[in-house]
Chain A
Amino acid sequence: MEVVMASSSMDAGVGRWEEDSNAEKFRYKSCLSPPHGLVSVGGRFFASSQLRESSTSGSILYWSWHKPQPEVKSFPVEPIKPLVSNREGTYLIGGGASGDVFVWEVYTGRLLKKWRAHYGAVSCLALSDDESLLISGAEDGRVKVWSLFMMFDDARRKEARHGHVHNFREHTLRVTDVKSGHGGSNAVIISASEDQTCKVWSLATGRLLRNITFPAVINAIAIDVGEYAFYAGGRDGKIYIAALNALTTNSTDYGKHIIGSLADSSRAVTSLAFRADGISLVSGSEDGKIRVWDTRTRNIVRMFTHGKGPVTNVLITRISESELKSQASHGRKALLPPSLDKYANSSEEIMGTKAFIGCDSSSNPGGGSYLIEDVMNNQIKEFQQQGSTTAAEMEVERLKLECKRATQMVQQWKNMYDNLHQFCVNELVDESNAKHIKINSG
């Protein structure tokens, strides 16, 4: 079931809406998430980074789907703002306020890697389509691309001049969002920045493909699944549609490459996400509303109200019905992984990796095939060849049976013979007797 979740940076919790109604289905408590700080971990649970302005420390909280209170709290060394997880939900990657990037293994909570990525705080993170590359944007205006594989290959990393694959410097102000398109290492990535531009880059070559200047600062980006266009949510409350493959004309009022806009409110759009159908665009706004747009007609299809505070994140995720209902059943499956480590601990390396082995339960286990037919066929074959001992056994059995029948038959014949003999003897005796009597009488 697809659900829409939204969180706010004011303490209003996380709201959950489901397909069929406009009413809020569930409210998870005590969540103060900064932008890009709400993530579903493999659909099993969701995590959010927490940032309180008053304190210098932050935390990462886990909620299971059916409980309002956060169940696992982790306290990293520094406040984490953006979070991202891979589809399978094995890694959780966070960007720190100091510019460091942290990679945790979700099942064990181990901090696998931490590296200095930026000079300013990391503001957004994204994984490439094949999840081999990490794209980070920071407050210093840089967008960098990292190879996760290389980050774990110490020998190679030392050889290389720098850890990153690409370093995009063209943004002059804080980067607000990055998104990656379809196509693995060959995708485009789009970055938005406070310098009022969005830039389209080639992930493969690291080159700038297109630069689009908007009338307002862009807070969030969502890419159309056909990469026909991308949607950019601006601080002026408009969602601009900017061309990727589309026909562009210079005639629009907004500027080059901008095809049009969706607008409903004057408050800033803070987050955008597409639903699985690829048509409904969900936007979160500072006025506390979540709007679902139909991108074909550019109309609002539905509107949810989250609260008074600004919505900072919208998250669209697919969760199984059973996860939601497991509240009623035993809390067996709802076990959340342990909290995240603060520091990397090398001695635990030996412990190994936690994993669900073959978690796709659809796979049929080994003994699932029916055997009897093969066995019967084999036996019949063996029987026909009459070669093996068992076949001989059967043969003996059969012969015995035949022997028995034969003896029975013999017995029967014998009886018959006896009877006949008796009869004949009797006849003869009778006859002779009769003769005697005749003679005697005659």
Chain B
Amino acid sequence: MAAFDHSKDLNDVALKPRLLRILLKDQLPDETHPLRNPSELSSIIFTLKIHSLLSEDIPPSAHQKHVSDWNSAVDAWLQTCIQSAEGSAMLLKDSRFDRLLHTWQNVYISYLKQPSSGASQFVKVSSCAAVSDLLTRLGRFSNLKKDGNSYAGKLVQPILKLLSEDVTEAVSDVAAHLLLTILNYFPPSVHRHHDNAEEIIVSKIMSANCNANVLKKLSCCLASLPKSKGDEDSWSLLMQKVLVSLSALLNSTLEGLEEERRRLEAVTLLVPPGKDPPPTLGGKMMTGEAFNTGERSQKMLISSISSLMQCCCMMLTNSYPVQVTVPICPLLAIIRRVLMVNGSLPEALQPFTTAMQQEFVCLQLPVLHLNMLEVLAAVIKGLRSQLLPHAADIIWLLMKYLKTCCMPELRTKVYSIIRALLISMGAELVGSATADIAGDQFPAVSGSRPAAGAGEATQFADTINDVGPLDEQSHVKVSHPLQKKRKHGALTGPLVEQQPLLCSEPKDRQSSIALKKAALETLEALVVMGGALSCDSWRRRIDDLMIEVVTNACKGGWTHDEKPFHCMETRAVWEDFQLVALHALLASILSPAGYRPPYLSKGLEIFHKGKQNSGSKVAEFCSQALVALEVLIHPRALPLIDVPLSNGNSYSFGRTDFGGPTDKQPQNFLYEMYKEDNLESGVPAHGVHKNMQFDGNSLDVTRDQNHKESNVVNVLPDNVMPMERDDGSKPANLASKVKFSYDRTMVDVQHHKESNQSSLASICDDNPVVVPMSSSHVAITSTTEVEYVVTAAPDNKAKMPMIEQDDDL
């Protein structure tokens, strides 16, 4: 190469091979040039990555010479790497892949097959990881499936051997990962070793002598095993096996503390009478000693149970190529069985259970419950809408569980499950589901639907309130002296109170914040999904609660403000909580209720304030919230048919093209149509829908609350701006309120009982109620006693909207 063969710039393709060669020559360790400092390696990797030297991402314009140059450079690099056995398949991706694959494969397999003492652990771990990455990448090429299968097939045996040997955790971790990769991308290759693999994995799980991460990967592997056969039966069989062994393990764990009836019910559902139980999980090897729980320690037992439950979760949520039969009833029975054990002794068993047994169970019970709740969440996620016939049972169970459970972590989980159910099952759940709990817990409340809702709301509200005062008490104690110290400071009370709390007991605080968040989110889901079904009593309470929570959350200032947060973590947690609170507030304002959102102006103020913290998530959300509220305040019709207006404008900004015969060709016409369509999709409302994670459902507003008149107020693009008077001072006395529905202009005038037809008629006749839209101004108006000041535009293009009445309603 000529000495003055300069490259154009940093991005020149010709430069890359040269850089790679420099690296190769100067930096890569070899026999003559040993590694001086370990950090050299990282710098090499960093250089490789930042210049994407191995990516071979050749721009189409590249000169052929450069391409071949690069290729040879990469080849040289690979050659060296193979020699030095430090695998770096990291950035390789190309069509030349299959050519290289073979070489690589052999190298790594040879490393894997070496006896455990032979190769360094580093080499083993990195070759496993590299092969795993290779296979992952290979899995993306659909045309190489076959080759991949045969390569992977050769690997399975050594991996299983690695796993069955007593190796260090790092090795078994990557080995499990590699197996998982193979199962995910090349499942057929494991087919031959299916039983062997099951045996080894199960024995590993049951012996429970690895760390949680490895166990998780192993249970993932177990859950993915049926994929190697890929049929319905193997999935169902494994599921049944897992459930049976889970049940056996639970028998010995919960012994003496659960009701016999429940246990029997679950067991009978699992293996129906008259049918053969499935073969034991893990094959013959496990039959004898593994389930002989005599000498197994309690801890091992719990770890195995957790792993099996994790396996259940994975099976329920990971995709499977064919349709399978989910044994929903046994699953629910076993979930019920565990969740209903609360550590107390059933009376019948009191003489037979020792205090030690009880202590044992109670020690592990929260872990069991948490895992079971995970399984329940997985059931909900896996079955989706098919859960409908069982939804009532689940809600009943959860409600019953909530009553006895008081650990924040568990409650958090329960709330999130309820939330998922609420969203997937729809609004009706809100109304009907809570009757049971209302019946149990609020005997005073009659069983009608709204009251039931109130029950739930009260309960949720209580949770939030529960947590609130509890914190208050705890931190008042702590903060008192601090408060005195800081009296000279400009800090306000609540702010001071929060600091010691956030700093001194982060763990405690975090868990309770998580609980608060979960409860808030559940309430939000409740409002979002069931807002329309609510009656004033509990909606009002929720609205009050939401504004209170947000005010409290924001009182201490936004995280952006100068606030002595000691660790970033709590700061992030706090910001999350604020975000959740703001979400909930927006939901409570947007969700339809029978009245004008009572905290609209407060909410607007809070969002405006929040928007000022530029750069934070809070600000981002606040600006979205403001857009959403803008739509609430200026409901707009979305006319497709352009209605002619006196001033020639139409609301959709479109052409006034209606009805007339056109001589356009359909294709031209379609083009026009789509053009229009694009134009309309610019309406911000749609963006809001997407961005705010609300169901579109929620954003609708109830019309027609409790009165007969249903009126239509037309919204026109006009220059008229009416004045609103006297609205704020006596909201309770307003004879009528105008509610604006989202996305529509069907605005109802809601009257109190005493206001009669005539009063309305008089509005229509005497007072031109103008509700115009100059797309940014709106009037929220109309009371019987308030005068209207109408400022008509001078050019008289103002349009009087009509309020008309349906006589026949």
Q: Which residues of A contact B (CB under 8 A)?
A: 86, 88, 90-91, 105, 107-108, 112-113, 128-133, 147-150, 152-156, 159, 165, 182-187, 202-205, 207-211, 224, 226-229, 241, 243-248, 259-260, 277-279, 294-299, 301-302, 349-361, 363, 365-380, 383-384, 389-390, 393-394, 397-398, 401-402
Chain B positions 317-350 with a Cβ under 8 Å from a chain A Cβ: 317-320, 323-330
**Interface presence of B132 (CB below 8 A):** yes
Choose among A159, A207, A353 the residue that contacts B325 (Cβ–Cβ < 8 A). Answer: A353
CA distance A236 to B436 in the complex (A): 52
CA distance A360 to B21 in the complex (A): 45
CA distance A394 to B658 in the complex (A): 82
Query: Do B125 and A355 touch (CB < 8 A)?
Result: no
In the complex, how many angstroms separate the beta carbon of A136 from the nearest chain B beta carbon? 15
Query: Do B637 and A228 touch (CB < 8 A)?
Result: yes
CA distance A360 to B705 in the complex (A): 41
**Interface presence of B385 (CB below 8 A):** yes
Choose among A108, A296, A361, A374 the residue that contacts B676 (Cβ–Cβ < 8 A). Answer: A296
Instruction: With A247-B643, A352-B326 as known contacts, state yes or no: A182 contacts B700, CB within 8 Å.
Output: yes
Known: A277-B673, A350-B269, A353-B383. 14 other contacts (CB 8 A): A129-B697, A132-B429, A133-B428, A204-B592, A204-B702, A210-B806, A226-B743, A241-B641, A247-B714, A260-B659, A297-B659, A356-B320, A368-B136, A370-B90
In the complex, how many angstroms separate the beta carbon of B746 from the nearest chain A beta carbon? 5
Chain B residues with CB under 8 A of A353: 325-326, 328, 383, 386-387
**Interface presence of B89 (CB below 8 A):** yes
In the complex, how many angstroms separate the beta carbon of B525 from the nearest chain A beta carbon? 12
**Residue in A closest to B808 when the chains form the complex, CB atoms:** A211
Contacts between chains A and B (CB distance < 8 A), count? 336
CA distance A393 to B389 in the complex (A): 60
Chain A residues with CB under 8 A of B126: 372, 375-376, 379
Instruction: With A156-B392, A357-B326, A368-B136 as known contacts, state yes or no: A245 contacts B90, CB within 8 Å.
Output: no
Chain B residues with CB under 8 A of A351: 325, 327
Query: Do B637 and A246 touch (CB < 8 A)?
Result: yes
Choose among A131, A296, A375 the residue that contacts B129 (Cβ–Cβ < 8 A). Answer: A375
Choose among A131, A355, A371 the residue that contacts B132 (Cβ–Cβ < 8 A). Answer: A371
Binds A, one of B6-14, B178-186, B363-371: B178-186
In the complex, how many angstroms separate the beta carbon of B464 from the nearest chain A beta carbon? 24
Q: Helix, strand, loop or mixed for chain B's interface?
A: helix
Query: Do B34 and A279 touch (CB < 8 A)?
Result: no
Query: Do B388 and A296 touch (CB < 8 A)?
Result: no
Query: Do A204 and B710 touch (CB < 8 A)?
Result: no
Chain B residues with CB under 8 A of A374: 129
**Interface presence of B88 (CB below 8 A):** yes
Query: Do A370 and B696 touch (CB < 8 A)?
Result: no
**Interface presence of B248 (CB below 8 A):** no
**Residue in B closest to A89 when the chains form the complex, CB atoms:** B385
Choose among B700, B701, B704 the residue that contacts A205 (Cβ–Cβ < 8 A). Answer: B704
In the complex, how many angstroms separate the beta carbon of A412 from the nearest chain B beta carbon? 15
**Residue in B closest to A385 when the chains form the complex, CB atoms:** B38
In the complex, how many angstroms separate the beta carbon of B670 from the nearest chain A beta carbon? 7
CA distance A297 to B325 in the complex (A): 51
CA distance A298 to B183 in the complex (A): 56
**Interface presence of B245 (CB below 8 A):** no
Query: Do A371 and B177 touch (CB < 8 A)?
Result: yes
Query: Do B319 and A90 touch (CB < 8 A)?
Result: no
CA distance A352 to B181 in the complex (A): 30
Chain A residues with CB under 8 A of B698: 184, 186
10 contacts between A and B (CB under 8 A): A149-B426, A159-B447, A228-B637, A350-B327, A365-B318, A367-B185, A372-B90, A372-B126, A380-B38, A383-B38
Chain B residues with CB under 8 A of A375: 125-126, 129, 174
Query: Do B432 and A372 touch (CB < 8 A)?
Result: no
Query: Do A371 and B673 touch (CB < 8 A)?
Result: no
How many chain B residues have a CB neighbour from A under 8 Å?
A: 122
Query: Do B428 and A297 touch (CB < 8 A)?
Result: no
CA distance A15 to B285 in the complex (A): 60
Chain A residues with CB under 8 A of B410: none
Task: Give the 9 A-B CB pairs with smallest separation, nearest first.
Answer: A132-B426, A184-B697, A226-B638, A204-B532, A153-B392, A183-B700, A185-B427, A186-B532, A358-B319
**Interface presence of B122 (CB below 8 A):** yes
CA distance A132 to B532 in the complex (A): 14
In the complex, how many angstroms separate the beta carbon of B52 from the nearest chain A beta carbon? 14
In the complex, how many angstroms separate the beta carbon of B799 from the nearest chain A beta carbon? 9
CA distance A105 to B387 in the complex (A): 11
CA distance A128 to B425 in the complex (A): 12
In the complex, how many angstroms separate the beta carbon of B114 from the nearest chain A beta carbon? 15
In the complex, how many angstroms separate the beta carbon of A146 from the nearest chain B beta carbon? 9
B 641-656 binary contact with A (CB < 8 Å = 1; else 0) = 1110000000000100
**Interface presence of B220 (CB below 8 A):** yes
CA distance A413 to B698 in the complex (A): 87
In the complex, how many angstroms separate the beta carbon of B217 from the nearest chain A beta carbon? 8
Q: Helix, strand, loop or mixed for chain A's interface?
A: mixed
Instruction: With A130-B427, A279-B640 as known contacts, state yes or no: A150 contacts B35, CB within 8 Å.
Output: no
Query: Do B744 and A245 touch (CB < 8 A)?
Result: yes
Query: Do B806 and A211 touch (CB < 8 A)?
Result: yes
In the complex, how many angstroms separate the beta carbon of B595 from the nearest chain A beta carbon? 14
In the complex, how many angstroms separate the beta carbon of A385 from the nearest chain B beta carbon? 9
Binds A, one of B39-47, B479-487, B723-731: B39-47
Chain B positions 653-703 with a Cβ under 8 Å from a chain A Cβ: 654, 657-662, 666, 669-670, 673-674, 676-677, 695-703
Chain B residues with CB under 8 A of A86: 385
Instruction: With A185-B530, A185-B532 as known contacts, state yes or no: A297 contacts B697, CB within 8 Å.
Output: no
**Interface presence of B87 (CB below 8 A):** yes
Query: Do B425 and A132 touch (CB < 8 A)?
Result: yes
CA distance A204 to B132 in the complex (A): 54
Chain B residues with CB under 8 A of A88: 384-385
**Residue in A closest to B134 when the chains form the complex, CB atoms:** A372
Query: Do A301 and B670 touch (CB < 8 A)?
Result: yes
In the complex, how many angstroms separate the beta carbon of B328 from the nearest chain A beta carbon? 5
**Interface presence of B133 (CB below 8 A):** yes
In the complex, how many angstroms separate the beta carbon of B24 from the nearest chain A beta carbon? 18
Chain B residues with CB under 8 A of A349: 329
CA distance A371 to B184 in the complex (A): 15
Instruction: With A248-B804, A372-B130, A398-B34 as known contacts, state yes or no: A132 contacts B428, CB within 8 Å.
Output: yes
In the complex, how many angstroms separate the beta carbon of A371 from the nearest chain B beta carbon? 4
CA distance A379 to B85 in the complex (A): 14
In the complex, how many angstroms separate the beta carbon of B285 from the nearest chain A beta carbon? 26
Query: Do B639 and A226 touch (CB < 8 A)?
Result: yes
B 74-95 binary contact with A (CB < 8 Å = 1; else 0) = 0000000000000111100000
**Interface presence of B533 (CB below 8 A):** yes
CA distance A350 to B702 in the complex (A): 42
Chain A residues with CB under 8 A of B228: none
Which of A91, A278, A357: most chain B Cβ within 10 A?
A: A357
**Interface presence of B529 (CB below 8 A):** yes
Choose among A154, A203, A227 the residue that contacts B744 (Cβ–Cβ < 8 A). Answer: A227
CA distance A42 to B417 in the complex (A): 26
Chain A residues with CB under 8 A of B320: 356-358
Choose among A133, A186, A279, A378 the residue that contacts B700 (Cβ–Cβ < 8 A). Answer: A186
Query: Do A210 and B809 touch (CB < 8 A)?
Result: yes
Chain A residues with CB under 8 A of B183: 367
In the complex, how many angstroms separate the beta carbon of A177 from the nearest chain B beta carbon? 21
**Interface presence of B542 (CB below 8 A):** no
Which of B319, B324, B716: most chain A Cβ within 10 A?
A: B319
Instruction: With A152-B389, A226-B743, A245-B637 as known contacts, state yes or no: A355 contacts B383, CB within 8 Å.
Output: yes
**Residue in B closest to A281 when the chains form the complex, CB atoms:** B640
CA distance A358 to B321 in the complex (A): 9
In the complex, how many angstroms separate the beta carbon of B33 from the nearest chain A beta carbon? 11
Chain B positions 166-193 with a Cβ under 8 Å from a chain A Cβ: 170, 174, 177, 180-181, 183-185
CA distance A152 to B185 in the complex (A): 40
**Interface presence of B712 (CB below 8 A):** yes
Instruction: With A159-B447, A202-B704, A363-B319 as known contacts, state yes or no: A393 contacts B184, CB within 8 Å.
Output: no
